[in-house]
Amino acid sequence: MKVVTIPAGIYAANCYLVYSENTKKAIVIDPGGDVDDIMAKIEELNLDIEYIILTHGHGDHIGGVLELKSFIDVPIAIHKEDEYMLKNGNQNLSSQMVMGTIELNADILLEDGDEISFGDLTAKIIHTPGHTPGGISIKIGNSIFTGDTLFAGSIGRTDFPGGSYKEIISSIKNRIIIYPDETIIYPGHGPATNVKIEKANNPFLR
Ligand SMILES: [Zn+2]
Ligand SMILES: [Zn+2]
């Protein structure tokens, strides 16, 4: 499996292209903007995108979805408890962001434990609420895409509507860092890390 990271949009939310080297089948995680850059990479690598999967419903992670879908018409998946955000610019905070109001519908509503296969890879959905009610982490092979739940050395904000500090800590401790030390963490903002480093150094997990 290969991962391409594209910091996208004015808030530099990490957009990830995850693909199988054998089949070129791929998914896009969190296209927050800069769709020209995302499309250029997709074309350069000759990827066959099968799904757009959103870690949560905030505007900085969904800002490019509709434009991307105009180029590649594939299903959009989000956890069922964040669906209300997609549909409402006030709930997804885009109405207060520079890009302006973004409202759209999902095609697939995810639940904990769901699996989405593309090529020879499988994305396992882990419900990790706390930053938002329907926040998910996506486990593919020995990598986990954590959205705004877990960052290198930090955690996501819990002061937005629907956020919960207690829940985000529980999600990280009981649902993310339970995986082996060498599991790679790809966060929604900033650099990648791994389970071992976060267990040892993340001040929020002491
Ligand atoms: Zn967020
Ligand atoms: Zn974010």
**All domains in the chain, ordered by first residue:** 2-205 (3.60.15.10)
In angstroms, what is the span from residue 104 Cα to ligand 1's centroid? 17
pLDDT at 112: 98
Residue 99 is predicted with a pLDDT of 87
pTM of the model: 0.98
CB-facing half-sphere around the CA of 74: CA atoms within 13 A: 19
The bound ligand whose nearest atom lies closest to the alpha carbon of 61 is: 2
Q: What is the pLDDT along the chain (206 residues), one digit of tens a residue?
A: 999 999 999 899 999 999 999 999 999 999 999 999 999 999 999 999 999 999 999 999 999 999 999 999 999 999 999 999 999 999 999 999 998 999 999 999 999 999 999 999 999 999 999 999 999 999 999 999 999 999 999 999 999 999 999 999 999 999 999 999 999 999 999 999 999 999 999 999 98
Residues in contact with 174: Cβ distance below 8 Å, sequence separation at least 6, in sequence order: none
144/184 Cα distance (integer angstroms) = 6
CB-based contact 69:77 (threshold 8 Å): no
Q: Kindly give the distance from the C-alpha atom of residue 206 to the centroid of ligand 1, in angstroms, as a whole number.
A: 23
Residue 58 CA to ligand 1 center (angstroms) comes to 5
- In order of 45, 75, 181, 194, the CA distances from 146 in angstroms are 24, 20, 16, 11
Task: Identify residues whose C-beta is under 5 A from ligand 1, the ion.
Answer: 58, 148
Would you state the pLDDT for residue 102?
96
